[in-house]
Amino acid sequence: MGKRSMPETSEPSGPHAPVLLDEVIAALSPLDGKRVVDGTFGAGGYSRALLQAGAIVIAIDRDPTVKPYADALLAEFQDRFIFVPGTFSALDTLAAEHGPIDGVVLDIGVSSMQLDEADRGFSFMRDGPLDMRMSGQGESAADLVNTLDVEPLANLLYAFGEERKSRRIAQFIVAARETGPIETTLQLARIIEKSIGRKPGDAHPATRSFQALRIAVNGEFDQLVNGLFAAERLLAKDGKLAVVTFHSLEDRIVKRFFDPDKGGPTQSRYMPEVESEPRRWVSVTKAIKAGEAELGRNPRARSATLRAGTRSPIPARPVALDGLGVPVIRGAE
């Protein structure tokens, strides 16, 4: 995979600094009078810039703690801003009554507020309850590490975190449970460090495992795939979709979604020619990364990748995982 998706910085907590903002706005432009769905509202950095560019914004977030940021934009922009709590996997349904929609933006992953708030349990740098639930509902990371057996836990860490030492980590976790449940982030981080050691200069040994647990707790691949297809259904010809991801497993899904030929079988001159599907997305960009200036201001932007495309008139596809390269937990197929 690319670099880490869970940066281990000691930056001060505070509202999220929007990543690749100018590039996202450029990808969705022109914006004056257009209706745009911001599927990952966070602290509202993208929404604010979209509103300032003259758009009407329908913002979605599954985290109820973003409400004060939404209230602030509502007070400032009034009827040009609508906030809808929910998950972006259902963005077409959530935005249906506010349509027709001209653009969708998704900024996948955790916000700085979620990462920096110890009580949310996302960070192995801050001691807090082992939670990681963006919505505050459903199974927590503690539920997973305290109930899964070695085999399914190792498979999860391997599939969602690309953790090659997943089995050893899972064995240490299950053994540690014998003396009592694992309840805090630092408790888990220490168990992982004990299991696979720590080399100076390397990323924290818990990086990949925390990423895997966070993805599992929040069903992030399922959300991403369904969100992409929901945007495809929602947007008519010329509608624009911009997606920012933070690690290579997500970026691969977005890349193949925009260009299904990237995930298909390689054409061979010995095989009958495979017909390409008609394109749902045109003017698809290459991977766009943060420039030096942004990286200087915001080191968290270093693993961000933006991809964008414009909707063709071809009707939307049914949701299908084939060819998207979605990681699957072994034994759970």
Site of interaction with ligand SAM (CB under 6 A): 16, 18, 40, 42-46, 60-63, 66, 87-89, 107, 109, 111, 134, 223
Q: Which is nearer to ligand SAM, 60 or 217 (CB)?
A: 60
- Is residue 94 helix, strand or coil? helix
Q: Which is nearer to ligand SAM, 134 or 182 (CB)?
A: 134
For residues 257 and 321, the answer to whether their CB atoms sit within 8 Å is no
Q: Which is nearer to ligand SAM, 42 or 121 (CB)?
A: 42
Alpha carbon dihedral 231, 234, 236, 239, in 10-degree steps, equals: -40
Give min distance, CB of 272 to ligand SAM, in A. 40
Give min distance, CB of 68 to ligand SAM, in A. 12
Task: Work out the number of other CB atoms within 10 angstroms of the CB of residue 60.
Answer: 24
Written as six digits, the tokens of 253 are 């899904």
Give min distance, CB of 63 to ligand SAM, in A. 3
Q: Which is nearer to ligand SAM, 219 or 264 (CB)?
A: 219
Give min distance, CB of 22 to ligand SAM, in A. 13
Give min distance, CB of 126 to ligand SAM, in A. 17
Closest-CA residue to 63 (of 149, 129, 136, 131):
136
Q: Which is nearer to ligand SAM, 207 or 298 (CB)?
A: 298
Q: Give the list of residues 6+ apart from residue 57 with CB closer than 8 angstroms, or none.
A: 35, 36, 37, 38, 47, 50, 51, 73, 77, 80, 81, 82
